[in-house]
Amino acid sequence: MRNSGTGKKILILVCILAVPGFLYYLLNVGGKNRYKSLQYFGPKHLSGTYHTHHGEKIPDTTYHKLPDFTLYNQHGEKITPATFDKKIFVTSFFYTGCPDVCNKINEGMKTLADRYVNNKMVHFMSITVNPGGDDTSALKKYAAKYGFPADKWQFVTGDTAMVYNLIRKGFLVNALKVNDKEFVFSDKLVLIDAEKHIRGYYQATSPTAVNKLTDEIKVQITEELRKIKAPN
């Protein structure tokens, strides 16, 4: 009986010592981290340059990025891609005269903003699809009910042509004016990385999709931190 007890103690000790090594193996294979980044969305093409991986020459790929833009938030402050330097952000689409669907879309955004309110790397931007009718004062009134500072959650407007070009050719979703009170637009939340690439689309009105986005924001944060720590 004494030998049996000693054997169990040894087995438990071996298991305790083995767990960290096993976890390390799961995360690392051959010295390479198995972390899997989010996919890129939009058109892509070969850049004409190459990198080497395990002695193999691999062509570099250039991914779709948001174009330059100039918009204005609820306080009349200019918003450009530089506003989100070294940051990731989630974008939604709405207009202030919208029926219930916009409330549902921005409730999804609010859920995310609440979860990341203290994270300085994560930001949010809601673009009106009625820039001709939604000026900065209208946006300020609309944004007030959500209670977030503009530097965390921007509600933005701008030149109509620029807004629609950005939505369609930048975020790659639809936006269409039917009349002064009706607009067709996407209910998707769009995740943008620090280099202004699209990394995911999520249905704003689906709690399951919003929870998925919550987790994938964490994945993207990890990727951005790895870039910062990576040697030049």
Annotated binding site for Cu cation: 98, 102
Q: What DSSP assignment string belongs to 45-89?
A: EEEEEEEEETTEEEEEEEEPBPPP--EE-TTS-EE-GGGGTT-EE
Please enumerate in sequence order all residues whose Cβ is within 8 A of that of 61, keeping only pairs 6 or more positions apart, or say none: 44, 45, 46, 47
Please enumerate in sequence order all residues whose Cβ is within 8 A of that of 94, keeping only pairs 6 or more positions apart, or say none: 102, 105, 106, 126, 127, 128, 129, 185
Binding site listing: 98, 102
Rounded Cα distance, 131 and 123, in Å? 21
- Say how many C-beta atoms besides its own lie within 10 A of residue 13's C-beta: 10
